[in-house]
Amino acid sequence: MKLASDHLPHSKRDQLMPSQVLRLLALLAFAASTAMATDPTQLQDFCVTDTKSKVFVNGFVCKNPNDVTENDFFFSGLNITGNTANQLGSKITSVNALNLPGLNTLGISLIRIDFAAGGFNPPHTHPRATEILVVLEGTLAVGFVTSDPDNKLFAKVLNPGDVFVFPQGLVHFQINIGMGNAVAFAGFSSQRPRAIIVANAVFGSKAPISDDVLMKAFQLDKPTVDSLKAKFWADNN
Ligand SMILES: *[C@@H]1O[C@H](CO)[C@@H](O)[C@H](O)[C@H]1NC(C)=O
C-alpha cells in the first residue's frame, strides 16, 4: 500500500499532517468495514460446520476433515412445499451452513420461497449477501430500493423462468400477484445471509425502541407508535 507520505515534498516526507493522519485512519476504517461486509474467502478446500462445537468464531468451527462424508455436502427436501399458513402467506426454506454443513466458509447458500395467493415477503435486507431469484411457478411483483439520498425503486413483475437480482444490503420485497401459489428459488452470496425485516426490526425489537425515537423517525403520534409496537410481526424464516 502506498502511504500518503509518498506524495509529500522531501522536507515533509517523514511527518504526516494531522489532517492526513485522520484521512488515513478514515480510509483504514472504511477498508476494514468493507472487508467485513461479505463472507470471507476460504483458506482450505472445505470447513464443514461442526454443529456440536461450543466455540464461537466468524462462521462455524470446522469438523475434523477425516470425519467429513459426502452427506456433509448434501441436503434433501427442497421439493417440499413450505407451509404458508401464516400472517405473511409465505414460507422460506433455507439451505445454509447449518443444515448443509459443507457450505461453511464457501460464501454461498440457497432458499426456496413458497407463496400462497396474495402472500408476500416484506421489505427486508441481507446485510452480507446479494440475492439472485428465479421464479418457478406463479407471478411475483418484486423490487428493491437504492440507498440514500436517491431511494430509487427498481421493480418488476416476474413469471416462471424470470430471474431478478437484489444487490447486497438493499431493502427489497416480493409479493405474489397471481391467482394461485407461487414458488421461487434464490441463491445468496453468503453461507447464511439471514435477514433484517424492516418492520420487525423497527417495531418488534426486543426490548422495544423508545416511543420518542420511533415518533420522530416515522413522524407518528404516540398512539400510532404504540399500536404498531403492540402488533405481532411475523417472520417467515
Ligand atoms: C421429496 O424428495 C424426497 C427424496 O427424494 C422424497 O423421499 C419425497 O417423497 C419427496 N417429497 C415430495 C413431497 O415430493
> Can you give the residue ranges of every domain in the chain?
4-34, 71-194
- Name the residue with cell 417495531: 203
Cβ-proximal residues to 106 (8 Å cutoff; 6+ apart), any chain: 39, 42, 46, 97, 191
Q: Render pLDDT for 109-137 as a digit per residue (tens, 0 to 9).
A: 999 999 999 999 999 999 999 999 999 99
Q: Whose CA is nearest to atom 6 of ligand 1?
A: 77
Cα distance between residue 47 and residue 104, in whole Å: 6
* DSSP annotation string for 76-130: --TTSPP---STTSEEEEEE-TTTSGGGTTS--EEEEEEE-TT-EEEEEE-TT--
Q: Render pLDDT for 180-214 as a digit per residue (tens, 0 to 9).
A: 999 999 999 999 999 999 999 999 999 999 999 99
| Averaged pLDDT of the chain | 89
Q: Is 121 annotated as a binding residue?
A: yes
pLDDT of residue 5 exceeding 60: no
Q: Render pLDDT for 9-24 as a digit per residue (tens, 0 to 9).
A: 444 445 555 565 556 5
User: Which set of grid coordinates corresponds to residue 123?
Assistant: 421489505
Q: Domain 71-194: which topology?
A: Jelly Rolls (2.60.120)
Instruction: Determine how β-strand 90-95 pairs with β-strand 153-158.
Output: unpaired
Ligand 1 centroid–CA 112 distance in Å is 15
Ligand 1 centroid–CA 181 distance in Å is 19
Any atom of ligand 1 within 6 Å of the Cβ of 78: no
Any atom of ligand 1 within 6 Å of the Cβ of 79: yes
Q: Render pLDDT for 149-185 as a digit per residue (tens, 0 to 9).
A: 999 999 999 999 999 999 999 999 999 999 999 999 9
Q: Is 124 annotated as a binding residue?
A: yes
Q: Is 10 annotated as a binding residue?
A: no
Q: Render pLDDT for 64-98 as a digit per residue (tens, 0 to 9).
A: 999 999 999 999 999 999 999 999 999 999 999 99
Q: 36 falls in which pLDDT band (50, 70, 90)? A: low
Of the candidates 111, 121, 119, 110, the residue with the CA atom closest to the CA atom of residue 138: 119
Which of 79, 81, 83, 136 best tests ligand 1's pocket when mutated (most atoms within 8 Å of CB)? 79
Q: Which numbered atom of ligand 1 lies nearest the CA of 79?
A: 1
Any atom of ligand 1 within 6 Å of the Cβ of 80: yes
